[in-house]
Structure 1
Amino acid sequence: MGDVARIAEINDVRAGYVDVDDLGAAIDQGSAVVLRGRKHDVAVGRVVPIKVNTNIGISHWTPRAGEQGKIEFLSESVFGPDLVMDHTIDPKEQDFWRDMVETFAGPVGTLPQYTAYSPRHGLLKEPLLERIEEMLEGGVAFMTLHFTSDMDIYEIAAKSRAVPVTSRGGGLAIRTQLKKGQRTNAFREGFDDIAKLFLRHGATVSVGTTFRPADIAAGLDEAHRLETARQIEIIRELRSRGVSCLMEGVGHLAMDKIAEYCELVADAGCPFMPLGPMVTDSAIGFDHVTNAIGGAFMAFLGGASVLNSVSREEHTGGVPTTESIIEGLKAARVAAHAVNLTRFPQIRKRDELTLKQRGAQVSCVVSGGLFGEEVGGGKKGCTRCDFECPIILAPAAL
């Protein structure tokens, strides 16, 4: 049953959400994974509370100092994410992940293909393997890899969709294959070596999705279903070699299709980390809200173990500000909490404390909550209802 001493130190065990034996059994089965962090490890899976991941990174338009400031804030905040991922695409800043590993206390994930890709040569096996090994040796806990960037799925998507590919990492692999006339991508070519590297370092592969739907019309179409089946095949092969796995997926998916999708991905038998699902295409500028709605619904159905936070800029362009990152993170935190309190009595206590405080203060306006908000007052009622406040008019204790 894994490393019992290590499992016993995980926050979920120490908080009493799960005992060592149950978490250890889930890890052995592959339905839970433990991601290594600089100061503490994080467990992900159905037997523990839903976790939240936040993505940051450097592009050609974002200074390193700005992204460094974001990771420092996320590291120090009481409501910071459980996991972070580096989405840096600027080749001149390809070592930013090191700053993240050194700064963030929990697990850090990456997408090595972003900086292994060369505009001249494309995404090739050897540079990809070198980047993966470098990151694993440097303390990266998990990586999203796009094994299913397969040309037969692309050809289906290109004929039937307005937007065939939505994944940046998968798009790099597809572009390379189109340019070179190849049918096999670098992830498939390096599969054996990748599995050995991850097994050696005790790290986790997040099996990514290249053809996640870019709009709800494409949800569960032929390309989406075919890729989902391929992802599960990849996960089973990696698991047979002893490699720890997560599964990534969805993108845009209408609410009436989420339950069916949950049934499909359940066959993977490993924790799932959705991107969204974004349950409408038209809430532009409010993607953090759409993301929270879809993520909460999928997690409640048992289909998600990690929720990704999304900023309002997801479909408006521009680099998210620190304030926007915080807004998206808070929305994802609320979604995760809404599900967690239905499963863990210890987490529900936070809501019970808020209720007791409202009753004792004779006001619905109280400080605290998930984010420690200070609303001022301490008085009965509020300025919105004034003397017609129902808590004053009909108090709990006569």
Structure 2
Amino acid sequence: MNYTTQMDAAKRGIITKEMEIVAKEENINIDLLVERIAKGQIVIPANKNHKSLKPCGIGKGLSTKINVNLGISRDCPNVDKEIEKVDWAIKMNAHAIMDLSSYGKTEEFRKKLIDRSTAMIGTVPVYDAVGFYDKELQDITSKEFLDVARKHGEDGVDFITVHAGITNATADVFKRNKRVMNIVSRGGSLLYAWMELNKAENPFFEYYDELLNICEEYDMTISLGDSLRPGCIDDGTDASQIAELILLGELTKRAWERNVQVIVEGPGHIKIDEIKANVLLEKKLCFDAPFYTLGPLVTDIAPGYDHITSAIGGAIAASCGVDFLCYVTPAEHLRLPTLDDMKEGIIASQIAAHVADISKGVSGAEEWDLKMAHARQELNWEEIFKLSIDEDKARTYRKESTPEFSDSCTMCGKMCSVRNMNRVMDGKDINILRSED
């Protein structure tokens, strides 16, 4: 049977091969999965031209997914270095990779990325437009912005971030409500500048129906970007952010009417006690569409450690219902991440996602921790390593500090509580000061 998108198929009751893969991977009833895709509560970003893709679901009742940001820039244009990061991100089981390239051989990098990636690929067409046309921002036409989105669809991009929510009306809200950090979204700030320079409406909003035509043709999911997300906790949950969120809900419904799948992006920097309210607002105003957050970062004072501030916020956000976490590296706000920065960011996000999955009762999440508890109780180091979220690091730490006795570590030695409780429970003597027999 013919269908245009995963949502179109779901509305018709058609089970696609992508749905079958996701249902098996997530251990979810296939009929329930189809129902939630039809309602827009779950998406399977799967461009028809991304042939190497391993389909992955994002949304209600599924495990929390993580995204990795990569890409070349004017200061760091080395394609090969970014491809090395891509290979590591896939090896480390990232669910999605966003190409944020903004300069140089962007098309070359994007095509290499799509050809080799089993993970979902996302892009931000407005970033690419300046380099693609080799024009100043003001001189790019509305049609040219849309043509870049089409090019990304042809290339096989699975989801595009489109900042359609920064309009003349929401920009007026921003102008009337002073912020500390103004607009920190790169895509949002570029479009705001284009609108101001050209005294025109946001092309992605004005020609949203044409954008939907492109997305429907390639089954490219729209990730509605939060142009007015807060860039510091003082700006969190303000009038600008909420005005845009209301509009994103309306754009979500318009996309669903065309069977285009939607993800809604959220903050950003917010206070820890505002996270639950932000998730509730998105789920209500955007009709339970999958929610995608950058962190959120819950303090502004930790440059060099923002993977930690992000993981704190991400764990809480996902436990409240966020479906998709964009990783943050230690280099956030400071530089393009190195390979090691990327690895740390992935691990931090994976921890946050797993913590939330335990809370949400995701199938298999708590069982993983129970297996680790049994391995620790048995002092089964090999099993502990295999169950670790970062097996290499766990093995390295153990190897770098070898204890005298294998059933302990160099911190506690023979005073190890697990070792001694195992002995007592087995009716054996506790031998701490005396030599072993």
TM bucket (normalised to shorter chain) is: over 0.9
Q: Is the 8 A contact 2:295 2:326 kept in 1?
A: yes
Which of the residues 82, 98, 107 maps onto 2:120?
107
Are positions 1:69 and 2:79 aligned together?
no
Equivalents in 2 of 1:250, 1:287: separation in Å? 14
Q: Normalising by the residue count of structure 2, what TM-score does the alignment of the two structures yield?
A: 0.85
| Cα distance between partner residues in 2 of 1:40 and 1:203 | 15
Q: Deviations over 1:163-217 (max 9, x none)?
A: 21111111111111111222x1111222111011111211210011111001111
1:120–1:135 distance in 2 versus 1, CA, 3 Å: closer
Paired position in structure 1 for 2:6: none
Residue 148 of structure 1, aligned match among 165, 174, 189: 165
1:58-207 alignment runs, 5 A limit = 58-62=72-76, 63-75=78-90, 77=91, 79-117=92-130, 118-119=135-136, 121-158=138-175, 159-182=177-200, 184-207=201-224
Which has the larger displacement, 145-154 or 305-314?
145-154
Counting only pairs closer than 5 Å after superposition, residues 211-290 of structure 1 correspond to structure 2 as: 211-267=228-284, 268=286, 269-290=288-309
Contact 1:123 1:173 (C-alpha < 8 Å) held by counterparts: no
Q: Could you tell me how far apart the structure 1 residues matched to 2:382 and 2:173 are?
A: 54
Alpha-carbon distance in 1 for matches of 2:18, 2:83: 31
CA distance 1:164–1:123, change in 2 (3 Å):
farther
Is the 1:7–1:24 Cα contact (8 Å) retained in structure 2? no
* Inter-partner Cα distance in structure 2 for 1:223 and 1:124: 26
Segments of 5+ residues of structure 2 without an aligned counterpart are 1-9, 428-437
Structure 1: any 5+ residue segments left out of the alignment? none
1:273 corresponds to which letter in structure 2? Y
Q: CA 1:6/1:397 → structure 2, altered by over 3 Å: closer, same or farther?
A: farther
The Cα RMSD (Å) is 2.0
Which deviates the most, 86-95 or 136-145? Answer: 86-95
After superposition, the Cα gap between the structure-2 partners of 1:120 and 1:277, relative to the gap in structure 1 and judged at 3 Å, is closer
SS of the residue aligned with 1:252?
A: coil
Residues 86 and 108, structure 1, Cα contact 8 Å, conserved in 2: yes
Distance 2:377 2:139 in 1: 62
* 8 Å CA contact retained: 1:113, 1:123: no
Change (3 A) 1:39 1:363: closer
The 2-side partners of 1:281 and 1:294 are apart by: 12
Structure 1 residues 15, 153: CA separation in 2 closer, same or farther (over 3 Å shift)? closer
Structure 1 residue 219 displacement after superposition: 0.7
Once residues 16 and 43 of structure 1 are traced to their aligned partners in structure 2, the CA distance between those partners, rounded to angstroms, is 8
Question: 3-state DSSP class of the match of 1:312?
Answer: coil
Cα distance in 2 for partners of 1:61, 1:155 equals 34
1:3 CA drift (Å): 4.0
8 Å Cα contact 2:385/2:391 also seen in 1: yes
Deviations 1:296-318 (CA, angstroms, capped at 9, x unpaired)? 1011011x111111111112x22
User: What CA deviation, in whole Å up to 9, does each residue of 1:98-144 have, x standing for no partner?
Assistant: 11101111210111111113315344311111111111111111000
SS at 1:313's partner residue?
A: coil
Q: Find 1:361's aligned residue among 346, 371, 379.
A: 379
Aligned counterpart, 1:337: 354
Counterpart residue number, 1:26: 36
- C-alpha displacement at 1:151, in angstroms? 3.2
Residue 14 of structure 1: SS of its match in structure 2? helix
Post-superposition offset of 1:241: 2.1
Take 1:263 and 1:251, find their aligned partners in 2: how far apart are those partners? 16
CA distance 1:271–1:123, shift in 2 (3 Å): farther
Deviation at 1:74, TM superposition (A): 1.7
Residue 327 (structure 1) aligned with residue 338 (structure 2): no
Q: Please report how far the alpha carbon of residue 345 of structure 1 lies from its aligned counterpart in structure 2 after TM superposition.
A: 4.1
Structure 1 residues 94 and 170, CA, compared in 2 at 3 Å: closer, same or farther? farther
- 2:411 is aligned to 384
Deviates more, 1:357-366 or 1:135-144: 357-366
**Greater Cα radius of gyration, structure 1 or 2:** 2
